[in-house]
Amino acid sequence: MDSVGNSRRPNFLIIVADDLGYSDTGPFGSEVKTPALDKLAQTGMRLTNFHTASACSPTRSMLLSGTDNHIAGLGQMTEHMASKEAYQNRPGYEGYPNFSVAALPEILQDAGYETIMSGKWHLGLTKETAPSARGFDKSFTFLSGCCNHYNYEPQLDDPSHSIFTPMNAGEFWMKDGAYLDRKKDLPANFYSTTSFTDQLIGYLSERKNSQKPFFAYLPFTAPHWPLQAPAEVIAEGVYDEGPGVLRSKRLQALISLGIVPKDTEPAPMTHELWDSLSAEERAKSARAMEVYAAMVDLIDRSIGRVVDHLEKMGELDNTFILSMSDNGAEGSLLEAIPIMGGETTVNAIINKYYNNSLKNMGAGDSYVW
């Protein structure tokens, strides 16, 4: 951003990836090609000691309030608080940014900024806590924590899976303050990263006052599980050597970039050794990583699209851009969670509705992590 001789107030664009690992992009040593982020890093600043919360909604509450997540009302993940009596009716555990703090879009809106958002909210499901109630002039949002990236959710129409029926009540998707019907109102070719980017660019194109500064917020749901990406973006064979080799390569890249000391020792690996897995297990593990990398690739392409649009608008040099992740890479295995055991669990739903065969991994009707 060029501020020399520029009296205009700057625009702001904040981009948030979901569960993106520290070394998953080019500026931090990844083998995944991320030219858009590479260019931003080369022409801007790479923050190597940047910290977030360890989980999703607490980070988002701090980002959009400028305060500690407990002060903001997200002392814990909303989903965890709802099931534990210890958190009920306690200050700092409201499950949404409470009204003792001012949200960043509210502050900028009051300062004359146009405020727009497209992507994941995860800071409240009601109209009173939705983006439109916390300072966003325009917003296209998924209000909850995660979803199928292709909007393939057959379990939501199955009354036998009662734990999911609230999601089918039209309360998780919203546009400009109105709830959306996921089956009728989302694009037929919906893919989360692409569709969120399309809408943000649409909002930018619809601006009626080009002299009014804007605050744009683009929080993706990718690369959060389920791991899904278009087949044409998935590169095969990149991860056939296994995670141990990949870890060594990334560590050397981080050392070469000067991000970590030369004598850095990685933490011990906790999963089974690659050579001890069967050929099928190795193939599926490598495929999952290929799909994950494709999701990161698509995030970068989308960032490039937004940057190109800003340049065409003549706003790029007057826009402060921050790209970050809400936390580090996914650290748990879904099969270790109690919900994976019986007929009404996520595991049962995967077995009933999804095809996790090797050839189908990454498709909308696959569910892998």
| Three-state SS at 197 | helix
* CA-closest candidate to residue 137, choices 160, 158, 115: 115
Distances (CA, A) of 69 to 56, 63, 94, 141: 11, 9, 11, 21
d(CA 22, CA 300): 15
d(CA 171, CA 73): 21
**122 catalytic residue (yes or no):** yes
Strand order in the sheet with 319-325: 178-179, 173-175, 138-142, 114-120, 214-219, 11-17, 319-325
Q: Which entry of 70, 80, 122, 149 is annotated as an active-site residue?
A: 122
Contact 136, 116 (CB under 8 A): yes
d(CA 87, CA 338): 20
**149 catalytic residue (yes or no):** no
Q: What is the amino acid identity at position 213?
A: P
**Pairing status of strand 11-17 against strand 173-175:** unpaired
Could you give the residue numbers annotated as active site?
56, 122
